[in-house]
Amino acid sequence: MRFLSWVMIGVLSAQNGPTTSDQPQPKRTVPVAPVPPQRSHGHPADTRSGTQPCQYGDRRCGSTQTTPAPQGDDHTGRNVAIGVGAGALAGLVIYKIASHRGDHIKTLDEKGPQFPELLHMSKFQVTGFIRGEWPIVLDYEAQPGSNAVVTVTPEAAAPFRAVLPTQLTGRQLVRIQVPPNVGSELKIADFSIVSTMSPTDARLAYFRVYAFGCGPRAIGSAAIDELRFSPAIVTASNSDAHFGFHAHTPFDRVRAEFMQLQFIDNCMENKQFDDKSINRRLQENESVEDTWNAKKSHPGQIQFRVRGWMTKDNGGDWVSAFSPDLVLRQ
C-alpha cells in the first residue's frame, strides 16, 4: 500500500505539476538581470563549483580531476518517474487550491518553501510565497548552450517565465523581477526550472541550482551563502560531518537538510533523508557552524541544503541554498 501511495502521489504530481498542459501557459516573458560578483558583509560572492557529482564527465567517486561539461543523453522513460515522492506542496496547480488555501498557507508559514522529496535539478520545483515586484534570486550552473526556462505560476495571477543565460561555464547569479500585476498581497506560487538541450530538443540537459529565493530578504548575493560541508569522505566507522553557512539577512526559521545524490542521465537527483532544525531565529550577518552524523545515509554522495524563511506576518521572504561541496559516504 505504501508503494501504491507513492505511485499515486507521483501520478498526481505529473498531472498537477507546473509543466502540465491543463495549466495556463505563461504568455509573458520577463527579463533576467545578471548580478555581478561583489563583496557583501565583508566577503565576495561565492563562485565555487565545488564537488562535481560522481560520473559527471566520467568522474570517479573520490577523484579531484577537472571534468568537461556533460553531453546530453536520452531521458526516455526517466521523466515519467520524476515527481514520485513529491512533497506536500511542490508541483501544485495553483489555480486549483482555493478550497484548501488556508492549509497551504499554514504549511509555508510554519515549514517554509516546499520541495519534492525527490528533487530533479533539470526539472527543478519549489512552492513558496510571492508578491508583485518582489525579486527572485537564482544562483545556478547550466550546460553551455542549453535551454533553461524559469516558469512562475502564482495563484490568482497570470503565469510568467524567464529564459536564463546559458552561454557561460560555471556559476551564474541572476535576478528576476516579479511583475506588479501579481499583486501586493502575499500569495502562493509554483516555481519551476526546466533545462533541455535546445528549444526544439526536449531531452533534459545538465543543470545545477546553488540557491533559489524570493523576496527582498532573499537578495544579498543569495541571502544564505558560503555553504560548507566536510570532510570529503566519511565512513560507517567515522561518520561525523561538519556543515556551515552564512546569512546576510535575518530569518525567523531555518532548517538544514541532507540529501542522497544520484547522477542519472547526466542530471542530478536529490532525495532528502535527514534534517536538523536550527532552533532559533537567525540574525543578520550570522555564520552557523554545526555537526551532523551521516549514519542514516547510504553509500554514495550526499548534498546539504539550507532553507531559511520569514513567517507570513513578517513578510514571507524565503531562500534555499545547496552546498557546492558533496560528501562521499563509503
100 φ/ψ sector (left φ>0, alpha ψ -120 to 50, else beta): alpha
pTM of the complete model: 0.84
Q: What pLDDT shows up at residue 10?
A: 38
Q: What pLDDT shows up at residue 164?
A: 98
For 310, the domain range is 2-329
Q: What pLDDT shows up at residue 114?
A: 96
What pLDDT digit, counting tens, does each position of 41-91 carry?
556 778 888 999 998 877 777 544 433 334 444 443 344 344 333 445 776
Domain count, the chain: 1
Q: Report the C-alpha gap between 326 and 221 in whole angstroms.
A: 21
Q: Report the C-alpha gap between 177 and 165 in whole angstroms.
A: 16
What pLDDT digit, counting tens, does each position of 107-135 carry?
999 999 999 989 999 999 999 999 999 99
What pLDDT digit, counting tens, does each position of 152-197 carry?
999 989 999 999 999 999 999 999 999 999 999 999 999 999 999 9
Q: What pLDDT shows up at residue 56?
A: 86
What pLDDT digit, counting tens, does each position of 254-300 carry?
999 999 999 998 899 999 999 988 877 888 888 899 999 999 999 99
Q: Report the C-alpha gap between 197 and 148 in whole angstroms.
A: 9
